[in-house]
Every structure is written in C-alpha cells, then in structure tokens.
Structure 1
Amino acid sequence: MTGSVTFTPTIADHVAAQRLWLVSSLRRPLIICFLIIMGLLAAVAIAVIAAETLMNHVTLGRALAENIWPMVFPLAFIGLQVLGWWRVPGSVRRMSKQQPTLLSETNWHWSDDSIVASSAAGSSIVRLPELHRWLIGKASIVLLPQDRMLLILPRRVLTDDQARDIEDTLGRFARKTRRA
C-alpha cells in the first residue's frame, strides 16, 4: 500500500525518537547479558552483606564497606543510562540550533518497496529490503538506514490507518531480522 504525510517535527518529536533509540540500544543481546551478570553480582553482594550482618554480627556499615564493589558497576551503569536519558532534550535543542532545518516541514511517502523522507535538511530514499533497523514506539516510528542515522515519523501526524499501513509495510517488506 502507499501513503504520504506532511508535518513539521518539533523538539518533542526528536526527543521521543532519540529516547526510543536509546532504549532500543539497551535491548541488544550483549547489553542484556551484561545486565544479567551485573544483576547476579549485585544479588550475591547483597546476600553476602546480609549473611555477614546476621550470622557474624558485623555492623551493616562494615559489611557494606567490605562487599560493596560488585554493586558499584551496575549502579554506575544505571546512573549513566539515566544521565543519558536526561541529557536527550538538551542534545536535541543543541542539534536543532546547529541545524535548524531539522525542524522544517517534512514529507514522507511510502510504498511497498521504499520510503522517501524529504525536508529542507535533505532527502532520503530508503529501499525497504535494505533498511538496517526500525523502531516502533508510542510516540514515534523511527527508521535507521544505518546505526547512527535516524529518520523520525511522529505518530501524532498519522491517522490510525496510516500508522497501521506503515507498520504493516515495514513488517512485510523490510528485513525482519533487523526489527528492534
């Protein structure tokens, strides 16, 4: 099926798309394995701290001081992710000041073989079989022709039928193994 939509993206649209991309990066298998291992280490540290406190009558402060290291890395990782989440709006504002055309009127046209996005910032033709990845969130549909290039389509500009159509088109014609 084919469709098209014209819209002017806002800073909030870019923030939602960037955050969707950020969250999707945490769902990668290597990151998931890392988080599981760090969670297990933190659980072991908590168990050791509890055991020392209860069985050996060690003060909680001493038990924490001796066994806190396995919990530092997961907490630091979580802290860095939260910091990244909070920094997205500022990054988007800086990006829009550096390249104001990112907030210019944008046209999207899609068909069964490609998606064309054009604005004052430039044009992109993405052949669906060659699409690297795509993300579907509550506020945005994001295409990634490559790892660091995002094409955003805010859901607020789509009718329900258009949203279903573009999602179905992506599901049928883009490489399914790359869907995030």
Structure 2
Amino acid sequence: MTGSVTFTPSETDYVDAIRANFLLAMRRRRTLRPIVIIALVFAAIGAGLGLIDHSSPAWTAVYALGGLAYGAVLFALIYLISYLMLPRRAGRLFRQQRSIQQSFEYRWSDAGLEWSSVQGNGRFPWNDLHGWHETKPAMLIYMNDTLFQFLPQRVFTPEAADDLRATLERAGLPIY
C-alpha cells in the first residue's frame, strides 16, 4: 500500500529526533565496547597502583574496583553532559539550516521512501537504507549508522503509522 504524510518540522521535532537517536546510539554495542575497554584499563591501572604500593591482594582488588568505578563514572558524566547539552546544540543547528524548516511530504510504497519539499526531492529504495527505529517522538529511518530521516509521530494517523511499519517490515528493512 502507498502512504504519505506532510509536515513542517519544528525545532522541537528536530531536537526530539536527535535526542532519540542519541539514546539509541548509547545502547549500541559499538558505543558500549569502548566504554567497557576504557573502564577495564582504569581497573588495570588501579590494580597496578595496588601492586606498586605492595598492598595485600584484597587492597589491590579494591584499587582495581576503584579504577573501574572511576572509569564508569567518568564516562557516565561525559555522556550525561552531552545529553543535557544536546537540545541547545540541536536547536542551534535547526535554526541555522533553513532547508529543514520547510514543508516536507514523505511517501512510501513497496518500492521505497520518497520525499519532496520546495528545496528538492529524492527517493530511497528500501535496499539502499540501513534500518529503522520507532521511538516515541519520531520514526527514524537510517541511511547509515548516523544519518537518518525523521518523521515525527505527531504527523501520523494510526492507519498511516501502521502502514509505514508494515511496509518497512515487508521490505525487510532491519530494526536498528
């Protein structure tokens, strides 16, 4: 079935989509792997300090756990600050890019996803897309790991949202 939605993205729509993408990225293995590795390096540094200090094995383990906790807290703070600053940065980017402040029409069918605006138009066959994810604020359709189109949930009728989901599933586009 062919479906469509027409909308003009608001700054709130854009910020919500960027925030949803950020939260999804934080749960991906490729994001978590470096965090675990760095935390283990901090644990090794803590254990090394315990060994250099000629501490008992129990205290060496305490040093290692302290290093692990330090690494975990450090990364948690970095990501928390990034998350808290995200609305300000995303809002500024939205205001700078006039081309995304226009009215868009998105159409989908078994052939792919099409969009048009006063700036231009485009078509993505489903097999050229990387994946999709439905969040509370928006439907995110990914071209690659970081680049995505967003369709705010507020613009969908229940039937249109169901149709897009069914089309994405029929096309075999993975949930990202």
SS at match of 1:26: helix
Q: Output the CA distance in 1 between the equivalents of 2:31 and 2:94.
A: 30
Gaps of 5+ in 1: 46-57, 59-63
Please tell me whether the aligned partners of residues 20 and 135 of structure 1 are also in contact (alpha carbons under 8 angstroms): no
What is the CA distance between 1:88 and its match in structure 2? 1.9
The amino acid that maps onto 1:136 is E
CA distance in 2 between counterparts of 1:71 and 1:14 reads: 35
Work out whether residues 142 and 150 of structure 1, in 8 Å CA contact, stay in contact via their aligned partners in 2: yes
Match of 2:94 among 93, 96, 99: 96
SS of the aligned residue for 1:118 comes to strand
Compute the displacement of 1:30 (Å): 3.5
Judge conservation of contact 2:5–2:155 (CA < 8 Å) in 1. yes
Question: Which digits, 9 at most, give the CA deviation of each residue in 1:5-29, with x for residues without a partner?
Answer: 1111111111111112111212222
Aligned equivalent of 2:111: 113
* Aligned residue in 2 for 1:68: 66
Q: Taking structure 1 as the reference length, what is the TM-score of the superposition?
A: 0.76
Q: Kindly tell me: are residues 29 and 96 of structure 1, through their superposed partners in 2, closer, same or farther at Cα, counting changes over 3 Å?
A: closer
Give per-residue Cα distances to partners, 1:37-75, cap 9 Å, x unaligned. Answer: 759x98xx9xxxxxxxxxxxx9xxxxx889632211111
Q: In the aligned structure 2, how far is the partner of 1:150 from the partner of 1:86?
A: 21
Once residues 64 and 29 of structure 2 are traced to their aligned partners in structure 1, the CA distance between those partners, rounded to angstroms, is 32
* Structure 1 residue matching 2:113: 3-state secondary structure: strand
* DSSP 3-state at the match of 1:125: strand
Q: Residue 169 of structure 1: CA displacement?
A: 0.8
Aligned alpha-carbon RMSD (Å): 2.7
Question: Amino acid of the residue matched to residue 173 of structure 1?
Answer: A
CA deviation vs aligned residue, 1:118-177 (integer Å, no higher than 9, x gap): 22454331111221121210110011112332211001010001011101111110433x
By how many angstroms is 1:31 displaced? Answer: 3.3
Q: Render the CA deviation track for 1:62-95: whole Å, top value 9, x for unaligned.
A: xx88963221111121112212211221122221
Q: Give the Cα–Cα distance (whole angstroms) in 2 for the partners of residues 94 and 171 of structure 1.
A: 35
Match of 1:22 in 2: 22
